[in-house]
Amino acid sequence: MKRIEWLDVAKGLGIFLVVWGHFYATDSVKIWIYGFHMPLFFFLSGYTFQVRQSSLGTYIRKKSRNLLVPFFVFQAITALIMFGFQFIYEKAQYPFSWMEFYFLNGEVGFNSPLWFLVVLFEVEILFFCFKKYLPKWSWLVLITVIGLAILSTLDQGIRWPLGIKIIPVAFLFYWVGLISRERKLFQRKWFLSWWTLASCFGLYVLTMYANNYKIVTLRSMDIGQPVVFFIGALLGIFAICLLAVRLQHIRILSFYGKNSLVILCTHYYFLILYANAIHLITGQPAISSYPISITLGLTIFTFLLYGGMFLLLRKRSIAQYIWIR
């Protein structure tokens, strides 16, 4: 499939919000961002899904290269970095666990955003099986997935091995993404209006209120009221995508979107640097949150660094080997 410019811009906006939310953001910022930022990436992945003539084995190998290989590579890099800090700073402790390394206990260690790669892999394989082998059973599959999604919300805050608990909800967002492409939703003039964008934004604010301004954590399926969360996430997704359509000619956003995988997998390394810098400057450990001016500034500074690094690696002709485009 030919690359869709606005989709890359949506990824760029989304990954910026992901990083901002992780960089010592206040609870108020997290309430705004966490309600839709990870569902957005499942939606965008579903938007580009195509059933090809390839076999299941071929599809699994392809998705393993695109998702599981980066997962294990960045898990290994993270472990080496953390062991290095432990060697340099005697007081530093990094409790390494093979269960976490392989995501077998619901945790992935320090570099927590890596969970997304495994869950997306699982969703894509299941969705491929559905579309290739059960295309006429859509209603039965839908009812089953909705039932499993409801069950997954009964013990919120508990993480399951390999992110299995997240799969049903992620599967639904992925499916909505595909439906949006098939129905050409983002090509309809009435949907692309400023009025639709403003309505999605306004209604999203109402869903935050209806969900008691909860800081949603999809990784733990700690989502508050499931129906309100799902509706709110879709509204946030549509708002970002509609904004992306209007900003699709801003190449820098598209550039970051194309490299969102690398940013997702590496931005926690900057957290290590910033935590040590804060400790060096203030003499105190970094706290959980700082004012918006500081966290937004850190995020923008980080993306400027990413831009410089990506361009340098592309000039060195090694970018393609480390998932940089």
pLDDT (tens digit per residue) in 198-223: 999 999 999 999 999 999 999 999 99
Helix axes 226-246, 167-182, angle to 10 degrees: 40
Show the tokens assigned to 105.
Answer: 């206990």
Alpha-carbon span 128 to 135, nearest angstrom: 10
| Helices first, then strands: H and E counts in the chain | 14, 0
Residue type present at position 209: Y
The pLDDT of residue 320: 67
Burial profile 61-87: b = 16 or more Cβ within 10 angstroms, e = fewer: eebeeebeebbeebbeebbebbeeeee
Q: How many domains does the chain have?
A: 1
**Token output for 18:** 């992901």
E strand spans, 57-159: none
Which residue is associated with the tokens 């901002």? 20
Distance of CA 87 to the CA centre of its chain: 32
Q: What is the pLDDT of residue 254?
A: 96
Range of the domain at 117: 5-322
Strand runs labelled E in 2-59: none
Whether the predicted model's global pTM rises above the 0.75 cut: yes
Torsion of CA 8, 10, 11, 13, to 10 degrees: 130
Interval 31-90: pLDDT, tens: 999 999 999 999 999 999 988 778 999 999 999 999 999 999 999 999 998 888 777 766
Q: What per-residue confidence (pLDDT) applies to 83?
A: 82
Lowest mean pLDDT among 67-76, 145-154, 281-290: 281-290
Structural contact between residues 286 and 24, judged by C-beta atoms closer than 8 angstroms? yes
Contact by Cβ (8 Å): 175, 123: no
For residues 191 and 246, what is the distance between their CA atoms, to the nearest angstrom?
Answer: 12
Q: Is the pLDDT of residue 271 over 80?
A: yes
Cα–chain center distance at 230: 16
Residue 161 Cα to chain centre, angstroms: 18
Question: What whole-number distance in Å separates Cα of residue 207 and Cα of residue 213?
Answer: 8
Distance, CA of 59 to CA of 130 (rounded, Å): 13
